[in-house]
Amino acid sequence: MRLFRAGERGFERYLTEIEERGVEYRPSLERRVRAILRDVRERGDKAVAHYTNLYDGERVPTHRFEVGRAEVELAYRKIPRGFLKTLERASRRIRRFHRLSLQRSIASSERGIRLGQRIQPLERVGVYVPGGKASYPSTVLMAAIPARVAGVREILMVTPPQQRGGVNPAVLVAADLAGVDRIFRVGGVQAIAALAYGTARIPRVDKIVGPGNQYVAAAKRLVYGVVDVDMVAGPSEIVVVSDEKTPPSFLAADLISQAEHDEMALAILVTPFEGIAREVQKELKRQLDSLRRTKIARSSLEKRGAILIVQDVDQAIEVANRIAPEHLELSVSHPFRLLRRVRHAGAVFLGPYTPEAIGDYVAGPNHILPTAGTARFSSPLGVEDFLKRTNWMSFTGPALKRFDGDVKGFTEFEGLEGHYRALEMRVNR
């Protein structure tokens, strides 16, 4: 893992490179994605079945796209009882946290004028859950529970089929616990297209949420406007800010926890203490030797990761704000003193005993977070993402007349005569 010191040329060059990262745009990939989207829009389920066979290697007939209730109930008997209790506990904690952010409609009145905003849930939402070689029941809980808390009428889930068209039992159980209404064993670009445009078997939705690979990310970006999407996610990221109090073994483990996602994951340690940095380098080597996904993690740490030596903790926070990471750990003695100075981060983990991993599963706050620096202007997935606001207003005749001159002034300045005429007719009457 590379090491850079503040004030040296390599430090600023690396930091600038990280600041300018973004979700990768590849014209050739986008052309392929556009072709699949167009094909599904034109041929519907037949195209979905074709690409499922082509890319997932599974022949799933259109009548078997949807997972039946019997398969979900069987899934409960297939997973270990202990893990079922874990899923139930996680779902309760996630639901409890997200209920805190429920929004309510508002209204006000003044001398013949009534104004307000109505808050309503979306009608139908699609949740994309990555599948194939790995399964992520935690993502199911994080994506679907906020939608259910918001009051979404119907929640659909799509996930790539596994061997013989199956779906991981833990994913099915998580979906059931989260309140998913319908589950489809399709994934990839074809699943995004089906959710966006609708097919005979898969209904069209109003919004698509959930992470996926670069093809899924490109598909979500391209269907935005036809439907809403939560975000276009990039590789996973972590920045760890540490003083000399946290054991180097903790810090190394936290960096590895993100690096093991994939080769493009970003793991950075920022510390004023070079001694800690050296110890973390040693710990990384030791821990990587016993990691099952060591090849992936090692590649990520070597190609993209770094240890940044700064002057003090104040500069460390400024570096973290420049990076605007998905996950930010403040592994320092007094983390809450620093929290108010964090301007850009998807989620913040405070203190040496709050590793990012706890947030991935059972803490309660959502783990679907902005990546690639988008924490500068976007937020974690939450209940508010499944709500829409409608403004309303009501004027009496006398109340409308009080604003005659103001409206006339605006319409004359903007050259919109018809706008004023609509008000003038009422005022004169």
Count CA atoms closer than 13 A to 156's CA, side-chain side: 26
Count CA atoms closer than 13 A to 123's CA, side-chain side: 5
Place of tokens 């061997």: 163
User: How far, in Å, CA of 147 to CA of 184, rounded?
Assistant: 18
Marked catalytic residue, from 58, 327, 356, 367: 327
Q: Which residues contact 233 (CB under 8 A, 6 or more apart)?
A: 23, 211, 212, 217, 368, 371, 372
**Do 327 and 358 contact (CB within 8 A), yes or no?**
no
Task: Look at residue 324 and give its three-state secondary structure.
Answer: coil
| Strand pairing class (237-242; 266-271) | parallel
User: How far, in Å, CA of 100 to CA of 102, rounded?
Assistant: 6
Sign, CA dihedral 255-258-262-263, equals: negative
**Distance between start and end Cα atoms, the chain:** 77
Name the residue among 98, 157, 161, 97 with its Cα closest to residue 135: 161
The DSSP bridge partners found for residue 110 are 113
User: Rounded to 5 degrees, what are φ and ψ at 309?
Assistant: -90, 120
Marked catalytic residue, from 326, 329, 356, 367: 326
User: How far, in Å, CA of 49 to CA of 301, rounded?
Assistant: 38
AA identity, residue 52 = T
- 110 annotated active-site: no
AA identity, residue 377 = F
Count CA atoms closer than 13 A to 215's CA, side-chain side: 17
- H or E element in which residue 400 lies: helix 397-401
User: How far, in Å, CA of 246 to CA of 269, rounded?
Assistant: 12
> Is residue 9 packed enough to be buried (19+ CB in 10 Å), middle (13-18) or exposed (0-12)?
exposed
| Strand pairing class (387-395; 113-121) | antiparallel
- 327 annotated active-site: yes
User: How far, in Å, CA of 184 to CA of 128, rounded?
Assistant: 10
Which amino acids are annotated catalytic? Answer: 326-327
